[in-house]
Amino acid sequence: MHIGVPNETTRAERRVATSPQVIAALIAEGADVSVESGAGTAAGFTDEVLAGAGAEIVASLTDTTPLDILLRVTPPDDDALKLIRDGGAVIGLLAPAANAERYLAQSHIAAVALESLPRSTLAQSMDALSSQATAAGYAAVLLGASSMPKFMPMMVTAAGTVPPAQVLVLGVGVAGLMAIATAKRLGAVVYAYDIRPETKEQVESLGGRFVDAPTQEMDEGGYARAVDDETAAKQREILSDIVASSDLVITTAQVPGRAAPRLIDRADVERMEPGTVIVDMAAASGGNVEGSVPGEVVEIGGVKVFGPDDLASTVAADSSRMLARNLLELVKRMTVDGELLIDPDDPVVGPALVKRETPDE
């Protein structure tokens, strides 16, 4: 089985779809691994390190034999898909909603989207959304802390006592929990809120303080449901004051298949002190904060509003290691005796296959 790992071509992407440890594990499974020269450099994995793990380093994957599997961080272009043999597969964060027809046009291959893996115990070790959200939640706090004009922890000095920063995290999923934990480690006073009542215990277990605002139960998939206008208005009313008193606000709230819920209005931002910071992790899906722009920093009344779309990429070494491990576990599930087997009835692989929807779906 021949596995290829290319250079990522997406703007500012520093991650790579493998690691030295995963290359060694794939080779132990009987695979040949070809990596394009420079693919791991931005993540701290030089060609020499990857070659030392057993990879074949090539100037381009076009110089190799057809691939059984192409591993990607971001969606591949059509030329990359042509590198895959008939019956092969591309696996990665493929953005299937935006790219499904393009993948389906390449009828000789299967496209396996990590985003579409089921939320189940069987798929837990392959859950790239969680691993990358962990990296992004950590990076969001570092971005905010480095952009604020004050310290995060309380400090007692000869020049007086410096009070700790107040951090507010809105949305307590994987990214939110990591943001809470990271901000606490840095010494901040951390408040958090999520529409799901069961998150209160999780927040408090990390040393955060749960904001007393309206909550409601999750949907069957374990995600927060979209709220009605009345509930949303009550949320914003309660959150407005704590937003105004915060030094750093990190928002992570998203609803699958819908625009991100608006949690902070421009008027709330304008109440914050100049020099304070907002990191809207949902900016690319509509934004939790009015005025945030994906990939840009907007200043509103002296408040910096970040709309980052590459947070996991800013900590590329560890986010790549986690993603590579997710990919390894999925590849192992899709191979039998060293041969690729794509089973549409497999409870993990089946839901992740990009396929044309039928009227019944």
Catalytic residue annotation: 119, 124, 127, 130, 223
DSSP H or E run through 191: strand 189-193
Contact 354, 111 (CB under 8 A): yes
Would you state the structure tokens that stand for residue 348, as one six-digit string?
Answer: 């993990």
Query: Distance between CA 29 and CA 233 in Å, rounded?
Result: 55
Give the residue among 322, 319, 292 at the shortest CA–CA distance from 308: 292
Check if the beta carbon of residue 46 is closer than 8 Å to that of residue 16.
no
Residues 6+ apart with CB under 8 A from 160: none
3 state SS for 28-81:
HCCCEEEEECCCCHHHCCCHHHHHHCCCEEECCHHHCCCEEEEEECCCCCHHHH
The angle subtended at Cα 199 by Cα 193 and Cα 201, nearest 5°, is: 110
Residue type (1 letter), 63: D
User: Could you give the angle at the alpha carbon of 131 between the alpha carbons of 12 and 208, nearest 5°?
Assistant: 105
Residues 283 and 285: their CA atoms lie apart, in Å, by: 5
Amino acid (1-letter code) at residue 280: D
